[in-house]
Amino acid sequence: MKIQIQNENFILHSSGAIFWESKKIIIISDVHLGKVTHFRKHGIAIPQDAVSENFRKITDVLEYFEPEKIIFLGDLFHSTKNSEWDLFEQWISNHNQETYLVAGNHDIIDQKHYFEIGILVVDVLQIDHFFFTHHPTEKDNLFNFSGHIHPGIILRGLGMQSLKLRCFFHKPNQMILPAFGEFTGKFILKPEEDHLVYAIAGEEVILINKNN
C-alpha cells in the first residue's frame, strides 16, 4: 500500500517493511535474529525452519524493492551472538546496500562486530524531516519512524470471533512499524481519533477504520 507522509511516497509492505521511494531506502524493525536459536537452546520447541524464514523474508523484500540503503530500527539481533550470527554474516556479505542499525534495547552485541561486516550502528538517524529511532519518540517538526512495541490490532466480527493482526500504527507525526521477525508477538494498541491503522492480512496491507 502506498501512502504519503510530508509529500514523500512510502510503500507499506506485507512483510512489515516500509520502502521510501525517492530515497530508495528500506526500513525494517525488530527482526530479532537469534531468538529462535536462543529459545531452542532453552528447550522451547520452535521449528528450525523459522531461522531461515527471517533471512528469506529480508532477501525477498530487498529483491522486490532493490533499495540502495537499509535502515534496521533496532532489535536486529535478539541477544548475544549465537549460530545465527554466522548466518547473518554470510547473508550480509551477499548484499551491498549501505546499512544502518538504529540500536535497540536488545542490541547488546558489541558495535565493533557490526562495523567489521559493514553495518554502522547509531542511536538516532535523521534524513531530511524524518528521524529514525527504536523507541517511539516525539520531536518537534520531525516525523518519527520507530519500532520496539510490535504493534497489533484486534478485528472483531459481528459474532464473538476476533482476529489479531500485526499493523503499521500511524500517529500524526509518527509511524510505528510492526515486528519483522518470526515469533516476536504483538502488543495490541487502541487507536485514537487521529490515528490510522494499516493491518497486515496475509499478503495485503489494509487501512482499518479506527472504529473497528
Instruction: Give strand pairing partners of 151.
Output: 187
15, 45 contact by CB (below 8 A): no
- What's the pLDDT at 28? 97
Convert the pLDDT of each residue in 124-133 to its tens digit: 999 999 999 9
Confidence grade of residue 77 (pLDDT, cut at 50, 70, 90): confident
Total-model pTM: 0.89
Give residue for cell 536486529: 76
Convert the pLDDT of each residue in 164-186 to its tens digit: 899 999 999 999 999 998 767 78
Phi, psi of 39 (to 5 degrees): -65, -45
pLDDT at 212 exceeding the cut of 60: no
- Mean pLDDT over 13-23 rounds to 97
Beta strands in the chain (DSSP E): 2-5, 8-12, 18-20, 25-28, 69-72, 98-102, 119-122, 125-127, 130-132, 143-146, 151-156, 162-171, 174-176, 187-188, 196-201, 204-208
CA 181 to chain centroid? 8
pLDDT at 69 exceeding the cut of 80: yes
Task: Please state, rounded to an integer, the average pLDDT across all residues of the chain.
Answer: 87
pLDDT at 46 exceeding the cut of 80: no
188, 27 contact by CB (below 8 A): no
